[in-house]
Amino acid sequence: MTNDTAKILEKLKKQEKEEGKLPLLLEFYKKLLQIQSRAQQRFGTPALALSHETIQKRLQNGRPLLRFNDLDLDWSLVQDVFAGVAAAFAGYPQLFGEIPEKLRKPEGGRLLTKKAAEAWFTGKELPRKIRDGVGENILQAMIQATLQPFLAGYARALIDSVEQESWRRRYCPICGGSPDLSFLEKEHGARWLVCSRCDSEWAFQRLQCPYCGNQDQKTLAFFTDDKELYRLYVCEQCKCYLKAVDLRKSEPEILLPLERFYTLDLDAQAREYGYGPYLKPVAGTEKKP
Ligand SMILES: [Zn+2]
Ligand SMILES: [Zn+2]
């Protein structure tokens, strides 16, 4: 995952060259990636002093490794990135509607206060100052895009401490985010989830809904395309869906974050069947059986 951003940018540039122009959403995504890649470079590799004991204790208790207070961020950099991200969204009203002026102004970056970021990180209601007059989903997406390069930096530093076989929970072992994509790994076809916030990957049961925990096989299903490259997992209990890429069938150099955009047909299909995406950025703590 280290050089994913650079690789994705390269692939998009190649596609743009071949096709003359990128589809609008990918053009937007390319701009976003450029902002995120600059943020990543300025941020560098975070130093996080978590002792071996703390790591073990958090994981054993089912707690993600990163707490908000562990994040050591240069807030003026974060706010700069937020201003850039908001401008990128504002450049595509065809995709996102009109972005309110308070966010389009360069000083709009300051609306993403530490308090607002903490509320987002922990899944609480955002402060009124940033939330008022802005669509909830768009705002969530903007904050997510802003914090992604920072969280992904921490994720790279921490993911090797996670013992995959003993985690297997419905939320990310690094940041606690919920998954928005999955893949079946090459060797045995085991299912792995991908975090919607930091792009960490973790192993998860194939026959369980990662959103509501449902394990009743009669109410879980999946659809595949003709080439069986993609799967659409659906759950009758919570009516949510999850897309999956089958790496046993895909080309070797697949870039998962980009697959989110290459599989928009699947999202449309899921909606047609009456399923929706899971919209909470922070998955709930697992209920005790
Ligand atoms: Zn995460
Ligand atoms: Zn479910």
Q: pLDDT tens digit string along 34-82?
A: 999 999 999 988 888 789 999 999 999 999 999 999 999 999 999 999 9
Asked whether residue 214 carries a pLDDT value surpassing 90, the answer given is yes
Looking at the fold, whether 135 and 252 belong to one and the same domain comes out as: no
Q: Which domain holds residue 33?
A: 4-161
Q: In what order do the strands lie in the sheet with 201-204?
A: 201-204, 191-195, 179-184, 241-246, 230-235, 220-224
**CB-count burial class (<10 Å; 0-12, 13-18, 19+) for 243:** buried
* Mean pLDDT estimate for the chain: 92
Ligand number nearest to the C-alpha of 207: 2
Tell me the CA–centroid distance for residue 178 and ligand 1, in Å.
Answer: 7
Looking at the fold, whether 26 and 151 belong to one and the same domain comes out as: yes
Contact 148, 36 (CB under 8 A): yes
**CB-count burial class (<10 Å; 0-12, 13-18, 19+) for 170:** buried
pTM of the entire predicted model: 0.93
Token pair, residue 194, equals 């991908």
Tell me the CA–centroid distance for residue 51 and ligand 2, in Å.
Answer: 35
Which residues neighbour ligand 2 (ion) by CB within 5 Å? Answer: 209, 211-212, 214, 235, 237-238
Q: How confident is the model at residue 5 (pLDDT cuts 50, 70, 90)?
A: confident
Tell me the CA–centroid distance for residue 97 and ligand 1, in Å.
Answer: 28
Ligand number nearest to the C-alpha of 221: 2
Looking at the fold, whether 138 and 174 belong to one and the same domain comes out as: no
Tell me the CA–centroid distance for residue 209 and ligand 2, in Å.
Answer: 5
Asked whether residue 287 carries a pLDDT value surpassing 50, the answer given is no
Q: What share of the chain in percent tops pLDDT 90?
A: 88
281 assigned to some structural domain:
no
Asked whether residue 283 carries a pLDDT value surpassing 70, the answer given is no
| CATH code, domain carrying 185 | 3.90.1670.10
Contact 131, 100 (CB under 8 A): no
Distance between CA 11 and CA 8 in Å, rounded? Answer: 5
pLDDT tens for each residue of 135-176: 999 999 999 999 999 999 999 999 999 999 999 999 999 999
